[in-house]
């Protein structure tokens, strides 16, 4: 693992010093580093700060065969005991942790607004409040695919992974969008719900697979990149690539099932189906009306008599 460790012994007076290390090493090896004091005496490593390129910097304490992340140890061990011993005590993290929390809070608000905009953009052309929900129901499955991708690739979730999840929400709805649109077209031609779902799925199967696979394989070079400069963006590429890949199969299975559930509920409560109208009724006024083909047995009889 490529790691940048900053080892520091903190002494009183002029004996304080810091040592920086940038090397290819295992985390366990960094725990056994030693320092040389000014007089040449070896001092065991007391504290090591590891800035892993795969995630955010963390501080690790080594000693007595125990290696714990300081922040995790503080939250899980020290802070609860302090609050028990001192009721009313308020503890707040500052520095990079506070900035990270503020960034996540702002990102969460922006994400909710983005979901509302996506819903509005889908509700207007579909003239429905239910079908946009069906289309957007695949977004959580994209998050599952992104997390599985991080597990398979051995990466931890980082801020760039979250950015990839936000971008993923706007990408994964494309497949379900074209599928629902195809089903609605079949319904406007007068087909029953089940037949329309089957025909629409068969019609859009190849475009959905090709679009998702080309997106995933387009991100593979970035995911497989080994240079240090590219590793900063790899978590975002993993979120996008594996999220799109999993949603591809979810769309072909879950979206048709949800569509049929909604249609069954409509029939159960007696709500009229606005998507089952004939094609002529759904044709805008500015489009030419459908012209029926002439009968094969008919013959031209000339203009009518004056």
What is the predicted pLDDT for the residue at 190? 86
Residue 286 in domain:
no
Do residue 25 and residue 125 come from a single domain?
Answer: no
Pairwise CA distance, residues 88 & 296, whole Å: 90
Q: In terms of Cα–Cα distance, which of 83, 85, 67 is closest to 29? A: 67
Task: Tell me the pLDDT band of 243, cut-offs 50, 70 and 90.
Answer: very high
Instruction: Name the token pair of 251.
Output: 């769309």
pLDDT at 127 over 90: no
**Which of 191-195, 231-235, 241-245 is the most confident on average?**
241-245
> Tens digits of per-residue pLDDT, 98-118?
776 777 778 788 888 989 999
Do residue 40 and residue 160 come from a single domain?
Answer: no
Domain boundary (54, 85, 116) is at 85
Do residue 147 and residue 172 come from a single domain?
Answer: yes
Q: In terms of Cα–Cα distance, which of 179, 187, 184 is closest to 203? A: 179
Do residue 118 and residue 215 come from a single domain?
Answer: yes
**Pair 290, 239: CB distance under 8 Å:** no
Angle at 111 between CA 250 and CA 55, to 5 degrees: 85
Do residue 63 and residue 162 come from a single domain?
Answer: no
Domains of the chain: total: 2
Taking residues 234-251, report their average pLDDT: 91
Q: Is pTM beyond 0.75 here? A: no
Domain that holds residue 122: 98-278
Pairwise CA distance, residues 137 & 119, whole Å: 11
Pairwise CA distance, residues 279 & 1, whole Å: 61
Instruction: Name the token pair of 111.
Output: 């994400």
Do residue 174 and residue 37 come from a single domain?
Answer: no
Task: Tell me the pLDDT band of 66, cut-offs 50, 70 and 90.
Answer: very low
Residue 295 in domain:
no
Task: Tell me the pLDDT band of 218, cut-offs 50, 70 and 90.
Answer: very high
Q: How many CB atoms lie within 10 A of CB 19?
A: 14
pLDDT at 67 over 50: no
Tell me the sheet residues that pair with 47.
61
Do residue 148 and residue 65 come from a single domain?
Answer: no
What is the predicted pLDDT for the residue at 274? 53
Do residue 111 and residue 247 come from a single domain?
Answer: yes
Do residue 47 and residue 105 come from a single domain?
Answer: no
- Phi, psi dihedral angles at 25 (to 5 degrees): -160, 165
- Label residue 202 exposed, middle or buried (CB < 10 Å: 0-12, 13-18, 19+): exposed
């Amino acid at each position: 693992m490529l790691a940048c460790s900053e080892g520091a012994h903190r002494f009183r007076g002029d004996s304080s010093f810091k040592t920086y290390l940038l090397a290819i090493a295992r985390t366990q090896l960094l725990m056994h580093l030693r320092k040389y004091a000014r007089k040449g005496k070896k001092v065991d490593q007391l504290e090591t700060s590891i800035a892993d390129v795969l995630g955010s910097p963390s501080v690790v304490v080594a000693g007595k065969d125990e290696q714990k992340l300081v922040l995790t140890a503080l939250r899980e061990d020290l802070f609860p005991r302090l609050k028990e011993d001192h009721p009313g005590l308020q503890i707040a993290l500052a520095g990079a942790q506070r900035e990270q929390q503020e960034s996540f809070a702002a990102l969460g608000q922006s994400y909710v607004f983005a979901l509302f905009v996506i819903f509005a953009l889908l509700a207007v052309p579909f003239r429905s409040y239910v079908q946009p929900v069906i289309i957007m129901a695949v977004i959580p499955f994209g998050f599952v695919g992104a997390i599985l991708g991080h597990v398979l690739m051995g990466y931890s979730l980082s801020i760039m992974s979250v950015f990839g999840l936000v971008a993923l929400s706007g990408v994964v709805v494309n497949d379900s969008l074209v599928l629902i649109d195809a089903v609605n077209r079949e319904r406007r031609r007068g087909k029953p719900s089940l037949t329309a779902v089957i025909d629409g799925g068969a019609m859009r199967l190849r475009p959905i697979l090709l679009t998702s696979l080309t997106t995933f394989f387009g991100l593979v070079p970035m995911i497989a990149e080994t240079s240090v400069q590219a590793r900063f963006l790899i978590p975002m590429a993993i979120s996008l690539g594996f999220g799109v890949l999993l949603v591809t199969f979810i769309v072909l299975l879950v979206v048709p099932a949800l569509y049929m559930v909604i249609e069954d509920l409509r029939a159960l409560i007696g709500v009229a189906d606005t998507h089952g109208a004939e094609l002529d009724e759904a044709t805008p006024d500015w489009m030419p009306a459908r012209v029926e083909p002439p009968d094969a047995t008919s013959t031209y009889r000339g203009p009518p008599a004056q």
